[in-house]
Amino acid sequence: MEDKANLILWNGDVWTLDHHKPWSEAVAVKDGLIVKVGSNRDMKEWKGPHTQVVDLKGAMVLPGFIDSHAHFLEGGRALSEVRLKTVKDPEEFRNRIKNRVQQREKGEWILGEGWDHHQFEKPQLPRKEWIDPVSPQNPVCVDRCDMHMTLANSLALKIAGITRETPSPEGGEIEKDPVTGDPTGILKDAAMGRLKENIPEFTLKRKRQAVESAMECAHSKGVTSVHDMGTFQSFQAYQSLGRDHHLTTRIYLFIPVTEIEVYSRLRLEAPFGNDFLKIGGLKGFVDGSLGSSTALFFQPYKDNPQKKGLLHPHMFPEGIMKKRMAQAERARLQMAVHAIGEKANHTILDICEHLIRTHGKRDRRWRIEHVQHLLPQDIPRLSGLNLIASVQPSHLVEDGSWAQAKIGEKRVRWSYPYQSLLQQGTILTFGSDWTVAPMDPLWGIWASVTRETSDGLNPDGWVPEQKVSLRQAIRASTWNGAYAEFSEDKKGSVEKGKLADLVVIRENLFQIPPREIRNAQILMTVFNGQIVYQKKG
């Protein structure tokens, strides 16, 4: 076999994330691996008659982006469902449901996501009455953008057996009209489960199609690896695609902590798998979300003094999360636990501290997902316990527009405290939480560097002292993501011997104003040494 490269990218600005040689001009790739990083002149020895050579014309090369928190299969499925992200009023909400009903058979479920009542022209929670007239024969379930609240129509509520007499479950809420006592159609957290268990599971063919759509989206954004907060049902689709050699995004899968017995029966230690598909560990929840008022705080919400948030069903019965995490510790499994409110974060830190002190130090790489609101005294605890902060900067763009109204100025000062965490030595890794937010690493990098908000009222940054540097943001989107999945020796930087996952960006991010990062153009994505995306025109 010819000892030449399959692909050479040259004449560019390659930021390698290698401390010894941070910048280079060119990269040579062979058989899915990086074989040379150096100058244009260095590439001559690797060029053969069959080598594909790409002149970057000064474009920037980075390691392929790693999205450290996404709902990948669900994101792909959402691309073919009702999209409600830009809805501003009840009429538009109703019309989008109506249009989808007209495209479906009688009795087929209408699913969708993305609505945000804080973005409505008149902020208000939607009600079943908005959509009942246009969906009398199709059950409807459409999630709020954070996936901690859903709107169901009357038919869906009937199928689920939810009436005015149905009590709210632990860790959830069935919202009821204060005058009539009837369900409004809004279900929060645990209450959503009673509805969603009635939705027919997708066929394997539909799941594969959803993943293929998700991968196409990932390619266009420069994403080559994803940490999927999914299920064993997701694994079925990934495994099927992998067998057919059609998996063109690396998947690191977390399954719900409630499935821990599966690991125990199999005697499986995570991560388990290959460079394309790994089972990473277990995903748990402590609370809900800020937008749904289910994130757990010590003090009441400013805009709703009767509420402090909700514990997630994973926390019931009392003590079960600590018991399951102790099982994970004994089985040497990685934990990733969702915590948004300051009390939720304090609670999971207490559990981690107890288990780590009990069982001693080892390389766990346990993660807290979101870490949005912290008590200032809890910030050093993450680094002290060697916990990874798996965060999603895109959320602050929206939350910064209304968070202060919900929790007040004092608590907002410690919202998304990225720089404070970094200064304490915490490993910060970036994800999108797609479909809660777009799968767009450049958007996340921009958000973390500028901390601008969607309302335009924070041009100098929301809580500006928590901005991160561009270098820190890129590292959090690449090498740190690899570290968070025990793969820093294989990816996350542009170095010889590592997997040839690369992204080419038209602009050198270090040479443009931070505000313009969100508009930078992905020109090419290379996965396993193959070009899987190339911008047209």
Go through the domains of the chain in sequence order and give each one's CATH number. Answer: 81-196 (3.10.310.70)
Rg (CA), the chain: 23
Can you tell me the distance from the alpha carbon of 205 to that of 436, in angstroms, rounded to the nearest whole number?
A: 24
Phi and psi at 74, nearest 5°, equal: -60, -35
Can you tell me the distance from the alpha carbon of 310 to that of 143, in angstroms, rounded to the nearest whole number?
A: 18
All residue ranges of the chain with pLDDT < 50 are: 1
> Could you tell me which of 295, 447, 434 has the C-alpha nearest to residue 374?
295
What is the structure's pLDDT at 233? 84
Can you tell me the distance from the alpha carbon of 183 to that of 175, in angstroms, rounded to the nearest whole number?
A: 6
The DSSP string of 361-413 is ------EEEE--B--GGGHHHHHHTT-EEEE-THHHHHHTTTHHHHHHHHHHT
What is the structure's pLDDT at 263? 83
Can you tell me the distance from the alpha carbon of 183 to that of 188, in angstroms, rounded to the nearest whole number?
A: 12
CB atoms within 10 A of CB 91: 10
- Edge-to-edge strands of the sheet including 502-505? 23-24, 13-15, 60-63, 502-505, 522-527, 530-534
Average pLDDT score, the chain? 96
C-beta separation of 292 from 188 below 8 A? yes
